[in-house]
Amino acid sequence: MVPPALLAAFLACDARMYGFVLRRRGLPSLLGFAGLHFLVNVTITAGVATGAAQWLLSRTFRQLYDASFPVGGTPPRWESA
């Protein structure tokens, strides 16, 4: 029962956009557009969840973004690999 309710909520959030696509391009395009829009949102959500989990569970990952940069003086010299 939950998945249909979530799908209905997902579609209701952008009902005006879906109505526009339906009026302009018809039902077949609306189905493709809604499916693609859903996949984009799933991909974004998966990326956010993966990044949050890595940040929470991996100290090494957190240290990538906790680097200190000098306020004054010469910037650090980056060496090529």
pLDDT tens by residue, 34-50? 999 999 999 999 999 99
Quick one: pLDDT at residue 78? 73
As for how many domains the chain has, the answer is 1
71 occurs within a structural domain: no
Quick one: pLDDT at residue 73? 58
75 occurs within a structural domain: no
**Could you tell me which residues come within 8 angstroms of residue 38 by beta carbon, excluding any fewer than 6 positions away?**
10
79 occurs within a structural domain: no
Which residues span the domain enclosing 29? Answer: 2-65
Task: Using pLDDT thresholds of 50, 70 and 90, give the confidence band for residue 64.
Answer: confident
47 occurs within a structural domain: yes
76 occurs within a structural domain: no
Quick one: pLDDT at residue 29? 97
- The amino acid at residue 34 is A
Integer Cα distance of 30 and 26 in angstroms: 6
